[in-house]
Structure 1
């Protein structure tokens, strides 16, 4: 299990969030069967999402989703995190690999490619706040710092790292985010810049000195003070970070309703049932013919077969957004029953 620390430095003018995510990234690697470069890309994105969740989200019900939509061989990276330390994610092409950089390091930027970073913030009322910025380098840390400046007007520095060894297993992973608050003096900023210049690779610090040692080095002379998280219910004064997916068997069965009744019957005839694999975590759910045939109370477009409505197991209804089907036909539901998608 990983961990997240929060602190202030520079006479209270630097807000700091740091995370040790080695175990979290290793679990992601094993779940998805990632190549070394895919491990580094997803690990950086997962760590970055955890840091941004601490900086930007206000309540436990909020979630933050990062989508790195580049033209590189990874095909895109998607990560979701919450302020309670939960994170999940995947890359579209988990086996993708590219040659090392000239300095011998994994070339995450080339694997991600050029494109856009999209950040979705799910608010407690269900609204989604979305920001999109161009990718600066594809190396992820620079891209997230650019997003914070462009979309949030928050001057920040981010360090993210994943170190792999042997057959690709994660040796160290983590990140540090520094947010410059209004009122920071030139002396504080100058000292921070000097420390960043002399800091070296983050994963080397994590491997040799641990997270606390890395923080002590980065904020030398800046009076780092840990935030007391025990008042928030964290007895160890740190937020546990873990790979946590929200999938379950019920949601997996509901996913089959997006296939037509004929397609579901074909699954039964050819395969004796169906298997649904969660793209977030790799969990597989197997369903019997009887379970598949229980999905009968749905409403579809009589013209194109698109799904309009179905009752979920918890008694709520799923309904497509809008009043017009994708084929142009007006959506007509029995008894005008409507529910939010």
Structure 2
């Protein structure tokens, strides 16, 4: 099944919902980053949530997420846009631990329980919107739940999960974001809390073949779910040789000449997709001109 997400409303428009199946997208990130199981789960959860946050944007808008904990994985960086394109990486991809006491990948141990979660939104304005909150658990989903409530003042429930095969490939990945709109009654909030508490692991539902629509219907039980939009998502990087060439030009002719004299060329690597670009001496000379 191809990765895609849906936007929906329920409770007569009082609740906004997003759900996504992101298995292929997370697998592509894992393959490019060579992440081990626990690192894959941390990166996969972050990418999955970033994709849904991208769906909240419009046009050419984009956002960049940074989870900076005190765990061995280091920083997790992801960005996404309104077109369903998402990418991400971790500072240290080779992190893996034994399962935690709940029998799940120990993401909190990899990420750390102290640090910050920041969101930078490029909305096409002169200045970026920036929100930052402390990490509350290191489990990623709970940290984003806290971010929405604190930084954007939107009561939300965020869930994201990743199942990893024994060979470290991704078996299943997916997530949901539920947001309560202003004016929603306490009865709706109470019902949502009860339903979320008894909801099975999102990655398990994806591994069983449940679609984003079915996930939302399972979550909201007998309530009518109105699907507003469906959109594909994919791992897509913005890097290119031309972009890197422009970056090299920005270093100035003196630095470029040093590359020619000392290294007889240049090599640049993209953190997000691990693509490596080579520049020959002749190409560098052309850039100087």
Q: Give the TM-score range, shorter chain.
A: over 0.9
- Aligned-residue offset at 1:222: 2.2
- Structure with larger RCO (C-alpha < 8 A, sep 6+): 2
Q: Quote the residue 1:170 is aligned against.
A: 170
Distance 1:288 1:68 in 2: 36
Deviates more, 1:251-260 or 1:60-69: 251-260
- Aligned-residue offset at 1:22: 0.4
Q: Quote the residue 1:92 is aligned against.
A: 91
1:131-170 pair list within 5 angstroms:
131-170=131-170
Contact 1:79 1:88 in 2 (8 A): yes
Over the aligned positions, Cα root-mean-square deviation in angstroms equals: 1.8
Contact 1:154 1:180 in 2 (8 A): yes
Contact 2:256 2:288 in 1 (8 A): no
Contact 1:188 1:222 in 2 (8 A): no
Larger Rg: 1
Give the alignment partner of residue 240 of structure 1, picking from 232, 242, 246. Answer: 232
Paired residues, what number?
Answer: 286
1:255 aligns with 2:256: no
**Superimposed CA distance per residue, residues 28-62 of structure 1 (whole angstroms, 9 cap, x where no aligned partner):** 0111111111111111111111112233x2x2111
- Cα gap change, 1:126 to 1:84, in 2 (>3 Å): farther
Contact 1:73 1:112 in 2 (8 A): yes
Which secondary structure state, in structure 2, belongs to the residue aligned with residue 174 of structure 1? strand
Deviates more, 1:185-194 or 1:20-29: 185-194
- Cα gap change, 1:138 to 1:266, in 2 (>3 Å): same
Which secondary structure state, in structure 1, belongs to the residue aligned with residue 208 of structure 2? helix
Distance 1:75 1:178 in 2: 28
Q: Quote the residue 2:272 is aligned against.
A: 280
- Aligned-residue offset at 1:264: 4.3
Which secondary structure state, in structure 2, belongs to the residue aligned with residue 142 of structure 1? helix
Q: Quote the residue 1:225 is aligned against.
A: 226
Distance 1:125 1:156 in 2: 26
- Aligned-residue offset at 1:260: 6.7
Distance 2:221 2:189 in 1: 13
- Cα gap change, 1:273 to 1:61, in 2 (>3 Å): same
Which secondary structure state, in structure 2, belongs to the residue aligned with residue 295 of structure 1? helix
Distance 1:264 1:296 in 2: 7
Which secondary structure state, in structure 2, belongs to the residue aligned with residue 124 of structure 1? coil
**Could you state the TM-score of these two structures normalised by the residue count of structure 2?**
0.92
1:1-341 pair list within 5 angstroms:
1-55=2-56, 57=57, 59-113=58-112, 114-211=114-211, 212-227=213-228, 229=229, 238-257=230-249, 264-265=256-257, 267-268=259-260, 271-296=263-288
Gaps of 5+ in 1: 230-237, 298-341
Q: Quote the residue 1:337 is aligned against.
A: none
